[in-house]
Amino acid sequence: MQEQDLDEVFHVQTQTYVPQMVEPVALLRERLQVAASCCWVACDALGVAAYLMSYPSVSGKISRLGDSFLVAAMPDTLYLHDVAVGQRLAGKGAGTALIQQALQYARRQGWPHVGLVSVQSTLTFWQKQGFSVCERLSPEQEAALQTYSGAAYYCERKLDFPV
């Protein structure tokens, strides 16, 4: 992802999320500046049609909706904050391809976990991607989860490393 992609990223976001969960372009720009190596786009002939924004974090830490990315000093988790597929690429595997890119990146860094918050009835999708709901959360993390609109679940996937 590059800064010049952000207007299109924002457009995809508005197609994908309920209005209460759309985050401003200025915040997307800040996040990209903080974690550019962890943000990717998928394009078609018309431009950006899907994206994934993530950052180095720690297992069990939930990002509040609308907050800046706080990159962990000693990360063990790639936190997938935002994965969105616009109408043009819906159902064509772009989301899964972006997730695979993120998993490969986390493995190269040696991080054993990937975490995320599942929203808008996507839990089954994430479970098919190998993620499981983390039931036991601290009160602070439960409060962070409540910043999302509707039902939200913190999920993690433990990564396997080739021997």
Average pLDDT over residues 23-32: 96
In a domain, 102, yes or no: yes
Is residue 130 situated within a structural domain? yes
48 in any annotated domain = yes
Work out how many domains the chain is built from and give that number.
1
Tell the burial category of 160 from Cβ atoms under 10 Å away from its Cβ (0-12, 13-18, 19+).
exposed
Is residue 13 included in any domain, yes or no?
Answer: yes
Residue 163 maps to a domain:
no
Q: For residue 163, what pLDDT band results from cuts at 50, 70 and 90?
A: low
Q: What would the pLDDT profile of 35-89 be if each residue is shown by its tens digit?
A: 999 999 999 999 999 999 999 999 999 999 999 999 999 999 999 999 999 999 9
CATH number at residue 110: 3.40.630.30
CA proximity to 44, closest of 8, 14, 15, 16: 8
Reported as a pLDDT band with limits 50, 70 and 90, residue 14 is: very high
The pLDDT assigned to 162 comes to 65
Classify residue 58: in a domain, yes or no. yes
What is the extent of the structural domain holding 122? 3-158
